[in-house]
Amino acid sequence: MTAAPAVGTVPTVPCITGLSTRLLTVPLRRSWGAEAPENHVIVTELHTEDGGTGYGFSWTPTIGPQAVKALLDYDIAPFITGLPANPESVWDELWKRLHEAGGGGLTTIAMAGVDLALWDLQARQAEMSVTALLGQRQDSAEVYGSGVNLHYSLDELVAQAERWVAAGHRAVKIKVGKPDLREDAERVAAVRSVIGPDRKLMIDANQRWDLPATFRALEVLSGFGLEWLEEPLRADDLLAYRRLRKHSPVPIALGENVHTTYRFRDFIEAEAVDIIQPNIIRVGGITPFRRIVELARTNSIRVMPHLLPELSGQLALTLAEPTLVEDVEEASFEQLGILAGPSPVRFGNSRVTLADQQGLGFRFKDFREL
């Protein structure tokens, strides 16, 4: 008969015994343009001494999938082997280890593969979802229609907006940044005409403008009732964003290319942003995402997770305040056909809800099945 643990003792956390990876590259059903016709998922599988297994992933739409996999295989896996499988302590130790190679970017993208696997492991050992483990606060979250559509013709863009309306979306986002601002204005006007005056309309310039160009664009586009202007300037240009926000008639959103809690703190403390959009993979996983969310909450800054709706949707349900989950048309893992099982979330009536799965619920097909 096994003796019960002594009162007041802390259960021993099993140690990590190994990490394996595999790279999946999948063509997008709707190309994001010549520079991004496919997405890359680096699937991670983590093992512990008690026989536990956790599943996670890293992701990049364009740059560096092989570099991310190499970091995981050659630098991260040997370092974390033997560490207690605690997500937050592993993240902190690993970030200190990798910081010499860069505090964010490829390093944090790679770290996400470990962090997600650790949270998946912890939740499945508790026989619950990661959302429940973290504390579910919302029954559902609103989904907005999004598209990487700057290369679309006007007719194609209008047709996409019509599909979003038919799907019941109450908010949509389109790309701007054409060489001629008049063309941007024509496209925004056409989408506003399709969606009507009551739906939210957001625009994303993907760092295509400098500060004078942004102010010129706002003079023309702000009259279309914009919910936010996303990433008009280079992502690192803190001073320019501070000047922009001070004079912009439209809320400023950014964050998909901000990779650390420290950098989000810089933008928030500089009063350079209204809405932050952390990408859970690019910041390094669930552990730093939660820290960034708390930083935003204490400074009354709204959080709108960037991309990856099947992951962002799960974390959105843990937030204290309702948020919008971005769903780029036909680009979810389920729609791309790379999941070996059902999606961990369900989409319907422009809402995302949790499916009945333990852990994060991401199991990916073998590349030979794609």
Question: Which residues are tagged catalytic?
Answer: 175, 306
Query: 26-30 — which CB contacts under 8 Å span 24+ positions?
Result: 26/336, 26/337, 26/338, 26/370, 28/330, 28/331, 28/336, 29/330, 29/331, 29/335, 29/336, 30/147, 30/148, 30/329, 30/330, 30/331
Closest CA to 275 of 250, 295, 301: 301
Residue ranges in the chain assigned as alpha helix (H): 65-70, 77-80, 87-98, 106-125, 130-134, 154-167, 181-195, 211-221, 238-247, 261-269, 286-298, 309-316, 333-336
- Are β-strands 226-230 and 252-254 bridged in parallel, bridged antiparallel, or unpaired? parallel
CA distances from 84 to 49, 120, 360, 364 (A): 10, 15, 20, 26
Closest CA to 283 of 314, 265, 301, 257: 257
Burial class (CB in 10 A: 0-12, 13-18, 19+), 365: middle
* Residues shown for the chain: 370
- Rg of the chain's alpha carbons, rounded to an integer? 21
103 sits in the region (left: phi over 0; alpha: psi -120 to 50; else beta) called: alpha
- Are β-strands 38-48 and 16-27 bridged in parallel, bridged antiparallel, or unpaired? antiparallel
